[in-house]
Amino acid sequence: MRTMTKSGPPEGKASATALLARMHSSLSEWLAMPPGLEQCAAPCRAWRAQLHEVACQARSAGLYGFSSLSVRIGEQLEPSFQSNDLPRSEIRLLWRWSHASLQYLRDDADLKSAVGLVGLLRVSYANYYGAKERALLLRNLIEDLESDGMRGARSESSSCYAGRC
């Protein structure tokens, strides 16, 4: 059970979204290259740093569930990040995560986008996220959506109150 209050700044969400958009674009460009022509070490380091920064920005925005899920995706990829050798399949996973994350962070995000994000966690013998942990992550993502919606509503009502409606 989380006891933190969710009152993060909207700039954190905007920063995370902008960073994700750049990351998604970079991943798309890399995946569009013919196999064998791509160079992975430099983008690998950049993607690792971007993934970490997205998690930090999300946390500062009060999106604790999304931040936690971002960290878990990073944990999945960490062995390959450390060797600077992400296989194409893991780059596609990172691309799918960035795409699903952009959908999740949109203002009209819904339960389906949260379910899609949790579905990206790898289920294997070595790295298993059981049903309880997946359910908890999904609940936290839904709480993020709900609290983010309330923050947006409070922000709108305060703007209207100030005569900027």
What is the per-residue pLDDT across 53-84, written as a single tens digit (0 to 9) for each? 999 999 999 999 999 999 988 988 898 888 88
In a domain, 1, yes or no: no
pLDDT for residue 83: 85
Q: Could you tell me which of 26, 32, 64, 31 has the C-alpha nearest to residue 45?
A: 26
Domains: count for the chain: 1
Q: What is the mean pLDDT of the chain?
A: 78
Tens of pLDDT, residues 21-57: 999 999 999 888 877 655 666 688 889 999 999 999 9
> What pLDDT is attached to residue 50?
93
Q: Tell me whether residue 53 is in a domain.
A: yes
In this predicted structure, which of 24-28, 31-35, 91-95, 127-131 has the lowest mean pLDDT? 127-131
Contact (CB, 8 A) for 14 and 57: no
108: part of which helix (H) or strand (E)?
none
C-alpha closest to that of 94 among 109, 110, 72, 112: 72
Range of the domain at 66: 10-161
Residues whose CB is less than 8 angstroms from the CB of residue 16 and which lie 6 or more positions away in sequence, other chains included? 54, 57, 58, 61, 63, 105
Residue 152 has pLDDT above 60, yes or no: no
